[in-house]
Amino acid sequence: MIRLRPLRAGLRLRANSIVAVAALAALAAPALAQKPASREILIRNATVMTVTKGVIENGSVLIRDGKIADVGTSVKASADATVIDAAGKFVTPGVIDCHSHIAVDGSVNEGSFSVTSMVRIADVIDSSDSGIVIGLSGGVTMANVLHGSANAIGGQNAVIKMKPNRPAGELIYGNAPPGIKFALGENPKRSNFQANPARYPRTRMGVENVIRDAFTRARDYREVWARYNADVKAGKKRVAVPRRDLELEPLVEVLEGKRLVHSHCYRADEILMLIRVARDFNFRIATFQHVLEGYKVAPEILASGAGASTFQDFGGYKIEAFDATPYNTAMLWKAGILVSLNSDDGERQRRLNTDAARAVRYGGVPEDEALKMITINPAKQLGIDRWVGSLERGKDADVVIWSAHPLSSYAVAEKVYVDGNLEFDRAVAIRDAEARRAESKRLVEQEKADKSAKPNPDAPRTAPAPRHGLHHDDACEGGGE
């Protein structure tokens, strides 16, 4: 039995929204994704946008055993291959969302402490979340699921493949380096939230102090273990084993370059602050997330080696977002920074292709570079570009067939493959949605008929069934950013 979770804020189902209805229909009927994948799938006669190797007109993509076996104009497949004629359509790698909060069972924020580096998103992945299928309907095949931004140093992230209704472990992408969420500004200092009791920090200088204090303790913790290991290696007797600290161990991994830092931020001054902290403790920031004032300090971001994962044209929704501009993406790209576009929202996630198109409109980013911002660039920022982000031989078969050019506002994802499995088929989803609407209507009419029927006074009365406590899975508590 499939458990349907309530839609998150901003995903209100409307009767005239075929996409949302189709997505929920696909979620409730997962048989499509659970069918064994054909050993070979040949998509031919399409405009193939490889992202890294140019555009191939009348091209083909061969999928074999979950991998891309070949890409080109004269691709051969076995006699038993499933052949899809994609004439007039466009084929791209799957869209990758570098900042998401979908598929989390419960709140994305462990807000009790300012440093919660010990908690892990991977422990609460919920593959029945409707956001997975809604993302698939927009061509999204992977997402960087982050802890919320209530903490200066938050929890550990999970990079997932969009595979609805599977065991949670099948979604988590093992090739992705581990990461962690940081946050700067209004959210970690709780400017817009009532905390009882009040939690430190309450100012931006307090946020910086929390981060510096945590890394000072992590550095000391690393030295304690280094001395212990050296004593053991030297053959010393009766060496006391240091106490493990699950809060500091992920931060030691950051110091050693083994864990990526993804930092929520808006203002230029706080971006510069974290760059200074990273320099002082000798660690690298993988991405500044949102980074709405990044255009003000683009040279400094470039020099730090950090990437930028931003909103295309979303700002003005709180004080620290007032200086946002839709030209931020183009200015960061022109400065030479590795730029990706993210959603931070289950609804906006299915529109990342049109976000990329707006980067062309606002600032003149070339179309091929705009497409990279939702494919290979986020893959690079997450350290997984060896396996995903482009259509190349040997990479994971995360493939999208679009009805039109993916940067067109008319384009929709018709078929979406993840690891060679057809996880979303728009035609099937719409057909199933229509069937479910008809079944819903029938049940409503049946209920009305049952209520209007006169009760039979001679019918035997039965005792009510005993009531048992029910567990209700609430929707996510608030936004994550």
Q: How far apart are CA 375 and CA 402, in angstroms?
A: 15
Comparing C-alpha atoms, which of 412, 411, 414, 439 is closest to residue 428? Answer: 414
More confident of the two residues 347 and 341: 341
Dihedral of the alpha carbons of 245, 246, 250, 255, in degrees to the nearest 10: 0
Mean pLDDT over 133-154 rounds to 97
Torsion of CA 172, 371, 334, 321, to 10 degrees: -60
Contacts of 271 (CB under 8 A, 6+ apart): 184, 265, 288, 291, 293, 294, 297, 300, 301
State phi, psi for 153 to the nearest 5 degrees.
Answer: -125, 110
Lowest model confidence (mean pLDDT) among 123-127, 186-190, 353-357:
186-190
| Cα distance between residue 98 and residue 143, in whole Å | 6
The rounded distance, in Å, linking the Cα atoms of 297 and 271 is 8
Better-predicted residue by pLDDT, 254 or 106: 254
Q: What is the pLDDT of residues 408-444, one digit of tens each?
A: 999 999 999 999 999 999 999 999 999 999 999 999 9
Assign 117 to helix, strand or coil. Answer: coil
Q: Are 383 and 260 in contact (CB under 8 A)?
A: yes
**Average per-residue pLDDT in the chain?**
89
Contacts of 254 (CB under 8 A, 6+ apart): 180, 215, 218, 261, 283
pLDDT level of residue 118 (50, 70, 90 thresholds)? very high
Task: For 251-307, write each residue's pLDDT tens digit.
Answer: 999 999 999 999 999 999 999 999 999 999 999 999 999 999 999 999 999 999 999
